[in-house]
Amino acid sequence: MILQGKGDGTFLSSPLYYAGESAVSAVTADFNSDGQPDVALINAALFQSSYITVMFNSSQPVSVSPLTLNYGNVTVASTKTATVILTNNQKKTLTITSITLGGTDPGDFTETNNCSTSRKAGGTCTITVTFDPTATGARTATLSILDAVGTQTVQLNGTGQ
């Protein structure tokens, strides 16, 4: 298994790929010119044709975790907080345009963050979302992060009591 370093003593998570039954050699290079290392494997099975498998490093350029925040039951006029981590998995700086709340009940949620307008390669930032229900019943919203790659969305769910 080959893991890509983040430069701080830790490693990026790795997708697992089936390498074939008789991989005899591996080469890493940027075969698709996306700035990410890819892997080519040479498979040579006894009495069978040899073949080459190319596995592209296709991790998402930007990830958020978790994709859903479930706050459960919260008394009206009380609050509960949860956090979302945004990770720039690219080898270049990520520009962040905006972080907004939308959906059905955005007024029941607020957010604060330390993301600024950019995240360095491999960098993370934290978005704290607070649920403060203004009425009883199910309350939903979305947290949207608009960046240079696209829009990352987190579903927000809670019930006012």
Per-residue pLDDT at 61 = 87
Q: Give the number of other Cβ atoms within 10 Å of residue 2's Cβ.
A: 10
pLDDT higher for 138 or 49?
Answer: 138
pLDDT at residue 3 is higher than 70: no
Tell the CATH superfamily of the 62-160 domain. Immunoglobulins (2.60.40.10)
Q: What residue ranges do the domains of the chain occupy?
A: 1-58, 62-160
pLDDT at residue 41 is higher than 90: no
pLDDT at residue 13 is higher than 70: no
